[in-house]
Structure formats: C-alpha cells, structure tokens
Amino acid sequence: MAVSYQWQRRIDRMKNLAQGFFGGGENHQPRPKLCPACGSLVGIHATRCHECGANLTFSLAAASKSLSNYFGDENPVTRVLLIANIAMFAVSYLAGLASGESGIGVAFSGGGMALRAGSSWLPAIVELNQYYRLITASFLHLGLLHLGMNMMVLMDIGPQAEREYGSPRFLFIYIFSGIGGFVLSALRGNSAAGASAALMGIIGLLLAMNMKRGGALAQAQKSRLISWIVMIFVIGALPNVRIDNWGHFGGLATGFLLGRIMSDRIPLSAREKQIAQILGWLTGLMVIASFILMFLHFRQPFGSAR
C-alpha cells in the first residue's frame, strides 16, 4: 500500500527517535564537539581544547562563560556588581525597618543597620576577627544619593575596565581595591561603607593603563581621570562632608598599583587565561563567603558602629 509523503516523513522521524532512545543507528556515531569555553571545534576524543587549553569535562573558563551568557556577554561582572549593590541596599533598608530604625535616608544620613552589619569598623575586625567587613563594606550604602552616585560611576567606568582587563581580573581588581581602601580607612579610625573605595581603585587602574599608552586619546582620558580624582578629594576635604578620603586614597593606590603590575589587555595565552579565571573565581567565592559570615554575625552584639 502506498504511503503519502507526509506520512513517510513522520515514519522516518519516529524511526530516528526510536534509534536515538534504544541506541544504534548513525545518530550515535562520534562527532567533533565545541569547546565550552572558547567555542573552537575540537576532536572527537580530545579532553582539552587545543586553542584555549580548557578542560572539556569541566573548567573554570567554561563555568565563567555560562555565567556570562546568563548575565549578558558584555560586562557581566559590572552587571552583577550593580545588582548586588542594589539588592544589599534593599536588604539593609528592610532590616533597618524591622529593627525599629526610621529607614535609610535619601542622602548620606541613616544607614546605622548597614554600618553595624558590615562596615569597616576596626574593633569588630580586630577583636572579633570579622575580616569579612573589608569586603562587605563595598556593597553597603547609607542613602539613595550615596547608592545612586556610586552606581552611576560604576556604569560609567566599569564596562571600559572590564573590556580592557577581562571579567575575572576586573572582579579581582574591584574587590581588592575596596579591601585596600577600607584597610586604610579602618586604621584611621573610620567606620565607613560604600562602593567608592573600589571605584577609586578602578579609576586608579584606568589611570595606570593610560599612563602606559601613548596618543591623544590616552592623554585625554588621563587628564579626565586626574580631574575626577582632584575633584573627589577636594569635595571630601570640605567641612561637614561625610566622605572618607582615606578610604578613597587606599582604593586609588591599590587599583593604580595593580594597573602598573598587570598587563593592560585581556589575557591571551592559555596560562594567562587560567590564572585570570582562578583569580576571578577565588575572589567571587571570597565575596560569597563574606556575605554568609555577615548574615551569621548580624545580631552579634558589639556596641555601636559609631
């Protein structure tokens, strides 16, 4: 009995499905595959990519690419930092309301809950070993204006730095610039919070990058960055202004130093990429661990953060 063309196609599809389910057939012939990290075509029996050196079973590069696809291929770390800062602001606000505070102020007022929870307060860092505060302080803000200004700067300079140095190294530089800033701030007796120390590190990084390069564009960017630095420190020196210039200086110096040490380009060789991925993932795990410790010690009494 003759079978129509449409039914013949349906029968063929059902045969292929049956072969795929029960095994056998040409569908199960080994085929070349794509590297999950860089997308290069690799051999059938390859265990490591010949282009980027990534392990084809599991690699930090492949995991990073998966996260990048989730948050967007362009500037994923900048996006994650933006989301994390806004989320922590919301958490601090709700925690403050639950504890009886009037809430976080529009400008730089309020935020006692944020300071108590994770600011760079030296007695808590030294006497209670709460070193996580040197990281969590970069994600806590004292008001909408404080948060808004810092996030505007993040979205202005973050994408450029992330493109130039790569996402893993950008995260490493951002977090460790914040640590450098809050170490100096705490040693000066301040109890501070905010992303500005880490952002000053990125400004220092870009300044170091443009000092290495020649040309009119690099000179223009260097002049712009120096103007920003001078303006920030002048504003911070004004009376009755709650800006921590010690934290800014520590972050700026840390970022500038890292910019002088690191090559001002994305990692190219397999070894450079591997080192960058390790730095990025270790930094990310440090941030996650710091937040966990902050929440675990949230209600631990230790006086006032002021």
Whether 306 shows a pLDDT value over 80: the answer reads: no
Tell me which of 15-19, 146-150, 211-215, 222-226 is least confident.
Answer: 15-19
Which fold would CATH assign to domain 78-296?
Rhomboid-like fold (1.20.1540)
Burial 264-291 (b: 16+ CB within 10 A, else e): bebbeebeebbebbebbbebbebbeebb
Tell me whether residue 248 is one of the annotated catalytic residues. yes
Prediction pTM value = 0.77
167-187 helix and 76-98 helix, angle to the nearest 10 degrees: 40
Q: What is the pLDDT of residue 218?
A: 85
**How large is the average pLDDT for residues 183-190?**
91
Spatial separation of the C-alpha atoms in residues 162 and 49, rounded to whole Å: 25
Whether 303 shows a pLDDT value over 50: the answer reads: no
Tell me whether residue 68 is one of the annotated catalytic residues. no
Residues 245-292 pLDDT 10s: 999 999 999 999 999 999 888 887 778 888 888 999 999 999 999 999
Q: What is the pLDDT of residue 43?
A: 63
Which residues lie below 8 Å from residue 209, measured CB to CB, with a gap of 6+?
164, 259, 264
Residues 75-100 pLDDT 10s: 889 999 999 999 988 888 777 776 66
Q: What is the pLDDT of residue 5?
A: 56
Other C-beta atoms lying within 10 Å of the C-beta of residue 82 = 17
Vertex 299: Cα angle to 184 and 282 (nearest 5): 50
Residues 37-83 pLDDT 10s: 555 666 666 666 666 666 655 555 555 555 555 555 678 899 999 99
- Residue 202 is encoded by which pair of tokens? 């990125």
Q: What is the pLDDT of residue 150?
A: 94
Say which of 248, 263, 269, 290 is annotated catalytic: 248
Q: What is the pLDDT of residue 304?
A: 41
Which residues lie below 8 Å from residue 261, measured CB to CB, with a gap of 6+?
none
* Nearest alpha carbon to residue 165 among 286, 258, 60: 258
- Banded pLDDT at 177 (limits 50, 70, 90): very high
Tell me which of 20-29, 118-127, 128-137 is least confident.
Answer: 20-29
Q: What kind and span of H or E run contains 23?
A: none
- Residue 188 is encoded by which pair of tokens? 């000066």
Q: What is the pLDDT of residue 61?
A: 56
* Nearest alpha carbon to residue 118 among 303, 251, 245, 297: 297
Spatial separation of the C-alpha atoms in residues 265 and 3, rounded to whole Å: 63
- Residue 126 is encoded by which pair of tokens? 């030294």
Residues 124-175 pLDDT 10s: 898 888 999 999 999 998 888 889 999 999 999 999 999 999 999 999 999 9
Q: What is the pLDDT of residue 277?
A: 87
Which residues lie below 8 Å from residue 142, measured CB to CB, with a gap of 6+?
104, 105, 108, 109, 110, 111, 114, 115, 193, 194, 242
Say which of 167, 177, 185, 196 is annotated catalytic: 196
Comparison of pLDDT for 70 and 8, the residue scoring more: 8
Query: Where are the chain's structural domains?
Result: 78-296
- Banded pLDDT at 120 (limits 50, 70, 90): confident
